[in-house]
Amino acid sequence: MLRATRIHADKATVTVVSDTKDIADWALRYFGGWWNATAMDAPAASSGSIAAGGALLLADVDSKRFADIETLVGDYDHDEVEYANARTLVARDEGGAIYAIQPAERLAYHYDPAASRLVIAGDRAEPVAVAASRLARELIRGQLLHAGFHILHASCAVRDGRALLAFGPKGAGKTTSALLLAREGYELLANDRVFVRPEDEGLRILPWPSAAAIGFGLLESAGLYAPLRARVLAGEQMHPTQDQRVTDALHAGNTKPIWNAKGKELKPQFFPDQLSSLLRMTLATQAHAAAVLFPQVDKNAEPHVVDTPRALGEEDFFTGKTEDRYPDIFHLAPTKAAPVTRLADRLTQLPCRALVFNHDSRTSAELLAKTATELLAA
């Protein structure tokens, strides 16, 4: 039986249709809390009666269609790229349609840009569901970029519709800042990236829905590890990108950080809806930027405010050139991006603070909450 989920973010729309229950339901899990994802009548959706300017995504377990697309890619000249950490072969036909396969994952794609219609086929439901959620977000991203939005590499917490954006490189504390503020009663709008557009009323912020990676140290110090472990022991399924070693550690009650061969910490991976259901955080669907934070984590320092905040840099503005995991293989983004000059100027006019906090979540949260209150009152 066909199932469908319609996703709205501002005026961007994607309808996900599948004959497999889990695939359509995953879209609700990913986007329901941050974007307006709702179940709808599947026959109407699949017939093409979608909102003007919207996109249609058809995703299913279909080995025959996978084989057909695999043959088409082999028949055409194709490029090889890495997409979502997987070897991907991409081809385009004479009419502009794009075909792609990921051989190891047994996933195939067919995108018709004229109809804004993307088909995903694979051998197993879970990889297809992951790909469908990822590509639904990419289809929305393309529409929002065409509408003048930019992407910032920042986390975001919200109070009364006013957003605090936290900037910094990996490990600086962006996610920690947003999560600690969420524990202090703020709404969580995003843990790593946001959509931003300058408007007459200010800088409008929309979420970037994604799975959230939260380290054992932060979970334990924030009092979240024990209830998480209890839910996992009771059968709660975490995001499939979670490493098995992390799952084993949760079952064993081990909170010691786990590192892979490249020196990257392996962390529990949460579905977006689990931020609410497991961690009891309230999610924000939009806001206007009010202030900027530049956090830095130093486990040996006492939490404190830094006298001179740093300036925004090129690494804070997310572009196609800086995208490393999801290159635009379906050409969904505008050929020429909107200039960031106006956005950068507006951001520099916001009140800002740089601060250092350590692994003591209580004292760090106190400093963050005090700093956030001061910034929102400025």
Query: Which H, E and C letters describe the chain, residue by residue?
Result: CCEEEEEEECCEEEEEEECCHHHHHHHHHHHCCCCEEEEECHHHHHCCCCCCCCEEEEEEECHHHHHHHHHHHHHCCEEEEEECCEEEEEEECCCCCEEEEECCCCEEEEEECCCCEEEEEECCHHHHHHHHHHHHHHHHHHHHHHCCCEEECEEEEEECCEEEEEECCCCCCHHHHHHHHHHCCCEEEECCCEEEEEECCEEEEEECCCCEECCHHHHHHCCCHHHHHHHHHCCCCCCCCCCHHHHHHHHHCCCCCEECCCCCEECCEECCCHHHHCCCCCECCCEEEEEEEEEEECCCCCCEEECCCCCCCHHHEECCCCCCCCCCCCCCCCCCCCCCHHHHHHHHCCCEEEEEECCCHHHHHHHHHHHHHHHHHC
Residue 72 phi, psi (nearest 5): -60, -45
Q: Do 153 and 282 contact (CB within 8 A), yes or no?
A: no
Q: Give me the residue label for tokens 């700093």.
A: 371
Tell me the pTM. Answer: 0.92
Name the residue among 15, 291, 14 with its Cα closest to residue 164.
Answer: 291
Q: Which two tokens stand for residue 60?
A: 């299913």
d(C-alpha 145, C-alpha 303), whole Å? 38
**N-to-C CA span, the chain:** 55
The pLDDT score that the predictor gives to residue 51 is 46
The residues with which 355 forms a beta bridge, in sequence order, are 295, 305
Buried b (16+ CB within 10 A) or exposed e, 114-128: eebbbbbbbeebebb
Residue 342 phi, psi (nearest 5): -65, -40
The pLDDT score that the predictor gives to residue 264 is 87
Torsion of CA 278, 280, 286, 287, to 10 degrees: -140
The residues with which 205 forms a beta bridge, in sequence order, are 196, 287
Name the residue among 307, 305, 350 with its Cα closest to residue 163.
Answer: 350
Q: Do 331 and 143 contact (CB within 8 A), yes or no?
A: no
Q: Which two tokens stand for residue 59?
A: 């995703």
Per-residue pLDDT of the chain in tens (378 residues, 90 and over written 9): 788 999 999 989 999 999 988 888 888 999 999 998 998 876 555 554 454 558 999 999 999 999 999 999 999 999 999 999 999 999 999 999 999 999 999 999 999 999 999 999 999 999 999 999 999 999 999 999 999 999 999 999 999 999 999 999 888 889 889 999 998 999 999 988 999 999 998 999 999 998 899 999 889 888 899 999 999 999 999 999 899 999 999 999 999 999 998 888 999 999 999 999 999 999 999 999 999 999 998 888 999 999 888 889 888 988 766 666 789 999 999 988 778 889 999 999 999 999 998 888 889 999 999 999 999 988
Q: Do 216 and 257 contact (CB within 8 A), yes or no?
A: yes
The pLDDT score that the predictor gives to residue 320 is 63
- Number of residues assigned to the chain: 378
Residue 158 phi, psi (nearest 5): -130, 140
